[in-house]
Amino acid sequence: MQIRTTGQKIYRIFSISLTTLTLVILLTFTGVIFRYPVRFTDYIEKHAQEFNVDFHLVQGVIWTESKVNPNAVSHVGAVGLMQLMPETAKWASEKLGIEFSHDKLYEPDFNIKLGTFYLSFLLQRFDTRNALAAYNAGQANVFRWQAENREEIPFKETREFVQRVERAKRVYRFLN
């Protein structure tokens, strides 16, 4: 029978607790990495710099819109990583002077370029919260809400979209 001193007992408890804590942190961090994949960073960085948009904000929009799936298509027809409506993407490509093709919306570089340009356009017109709301619900709705002096975004889906983007932005800032 082994007799342990108080110091040995404390050390053993501390060692077990530290090992458990390390394991919990590792599993949590691993879960975050799987849940928030870090992909297409070269394209995101290039276009975020080109259009002066926060790199992590673009990552947050991509994660929220498509879960980083370049082949994503929504029930309303939004396409690709940044879930661009074809009409919006066509408008953006005309503004940028580049050829538009619906099929190219599935290409990460093209989709991120147009989506980041559009986000930049909205950020020039609105603060970040309202720019994200406009990205999701359209500019006309945001202009109407502002004219009605609404503090809260009235569409639940859009309110939750803005919250998810902001949360994903914080996670990506941590991961990068």
Catalytic residues: 65
CA distance 18 to 14: 6
- Residue 89 buriedness (CB in 10 A; 0-12 / 13-18 / 19+): buried
Nearest to 102 by CA among 79, 76, 73: 79
CA distance 40 to 109: 8
Question: Could you tell me the maximum CA-CA distance found in the chain, to the nearest angstrom?
Answer: 82
CA distance 109 to 43: 6
CA–CA distance from 90 to each of 3, 87, 96, 99, 127 (Å)? 77, 5, 10, 9, 24
CA 31 to chain centre: 17
Question: End-to-end CA distance of the chain, in Å?
Answer: 51
